[in-house]
Amino acid sequence: MQLTNNEKNGKPVGRALAAATCALLGVQATDTLARDEPGEWDVETALLVYSETDDRVQAAEPVISATRNYDGDRKLNLKLIADTLTGASPSGATPSDLPQTFTRPSGSGSYDVAAGDAPLDDSFKDTRVALSASWTAPLNRDYTYTVGAYGSKEYDYLSTAVNGSLSRYLNNKNTTLTGGLSLGVDIVDPVGGAPIGLSRMPLKANKTQAQFDQEFAATRESDDTKTLVDALFGVTQVINRRTLMQFNYGVSYSSGYLTDPYKILSIIDDASGANYGGNLIESDGNPVYLYENRPDTRMKHTLYWQTKYMLENGDVMDGSYRFMVDDWGITSHTVDLKYRWKMDKSYLEPHFRYYLQSEADFYKRYLTATEYNGGTPTQSEASADYRLGELTGLTFGAKWGYRFDEDRELAVRAEYLIQTNDGDKGFGKLASQDLYPDTNAMWLQLSYSF
């Protein structure tokens, strides 16, 4: 039994769930108006524009996905993504009561931050091109398999992966069991080389160029790699002619270079006196900043539930919940709600998403001079990356779509994100600084399927 909307030849609701299943594995699935007619191409195009406030990250991402249908429910999907990112990104350092100067990641030049301002690295700029391909075909009336490959290239990052999944149909296809596996290898080649974790950032002030070059070289190592293994097990069940439900369990293991080479930490003076809570100043007359360092392995477990329910009038309610826990000490909860109003040939779909995350065990908004221990830190891992801290995210938005006919659809989606962080408020001078500025962002996506 297949759950469909009330429109003639409408898109099966089950396809959207299949896309969600594949997305968890990194499989590049489509959610187009595919007619599934042999010999035909189904194409989906989209342009996403993303913007954070306060001159932070800006991004533009065009996407094209094409699916070729063959006899016997066999399909070939090709997908191309090209995105550009610019703007400023939080470096991890804390604001200070004094102006601050930081060395650029490449070691060529520096950037200044005014007293009281959040340290943002304004050299953030990148272009990414990603290509994926997948092949889906039935083995027999009860089994379907999918195999695929993925590759993306950025200026300082190369990512490759292969994946595969197998689905088993039961109870006249009212029940689908799915198992999938993805294997990936990434090469990290940061500008200026990968910094050695918890080494001190060299600063040019009060030094000759030769002294600075020697110090900078001493903090570098060559490019590095990381490997990723993801597995997913899921069941999709048609409850009745209006309700579809899905459960997934996913496990992910990554190892290798998992540190962000562009993130740093401030060292704060915790000795009593006039500079209590200020940046620690070393004997060379410069403040102390360390490159962050994360564990070299990570294991994540996820549980995912989704239910879609179609009302008598053709409207669709869609709710999901995702729980994640990892051995870095992070747990997260995600609730996602949508309601699709059917209006003749168009529809309107409001969207709400709530995200709550705890901080990683090694998350430190800063390190104290005592923890710095004269250049021999008392801890082996530390990061001030706000994405690893305690945070709450609220996303509001809506999507409007217009269907010209059974093959062509135009859609516009607009979303707004409010993200807040919380944690250690600091001491002394530091307590008067805003250590956790909010992150607000909006994005607009225009898509056309034919």
For the residues of 63-103, what is the DSSP string, one character each?
Answer: EEEEEEEEGGGEEEEEEEEEEEEEEEEE-SPPP-SS-EEEE
- What pLDDT tens digit does each residue of the chain (450 aa) get? 333 343 333 333 334 444 434 343 333 333 445 467 788 899 999 999 999 988 888 999 999 999 999 988 899 999 999 999 888 889 999 999 999 999 998 888 899 999 999 999 887 778 999 999 999 999 999 999 999 999 999 888 899 999 999 999 999 999 999 999 999 999 988 888 889 999 999 999 999 999 999 999 999 887 689 999 999 999 999 999 999 999 999 999 999 999 999 999 999 999 999 999 999 999 999 999 999 999 999 999 999 999 999 999 999 999 999 999 999 999 999 999 999 999 989 999 999 999 999 999 999 999 999 999 999 999 999 999 999 999 999 999 999 999 998 889 999 999 999 999 999 999 999 999 999 999 999 999 999 999
Can you tell me the distance from the alpha carbon of 245 to that of 310, in angstroms, rounded to the nearest whole number?
12
Tokens at 238, concatenated: 């048609």
Q: Are 302 and 313 in contact (CB under 8 A)?
A: no
Nearest to 75 by CA among 116, 32, 11, 105: 32
Q: Letter for the amino acid at 439?
A: T
For residue 309, count other CB atoms closer than 10 A to its CB. Answer: 17
Q: Are 252 and 289 in contact (CB under 8 A)?
A: no
135: Cβ contacts below 8 Å, ≥ 6 apart = 74, 75, 76, 77, 146, 147, 148
289-291 and 264-268 beta bridge pairing: antiparallel
Which DSSP letter does residue 375 get? G
Which DSSP letter does residue 359 get? P
309-41-61-292 Cα dihedral, nearest 10 degrees: 80
| CA distances in angstroms from 376 to 92, 226, 283, listed in the order given | 20, 27, 16
Tokens at 323, concatenated: 């729980």
Q: Are 413 and 444 in contact (CB under 8 A)?
A: yes
Q: Are 244 and 17 in contact (CB under 8 A)?
A: yes
356-362-363-369 Cα dihedral, nearest 10 degrees: 160
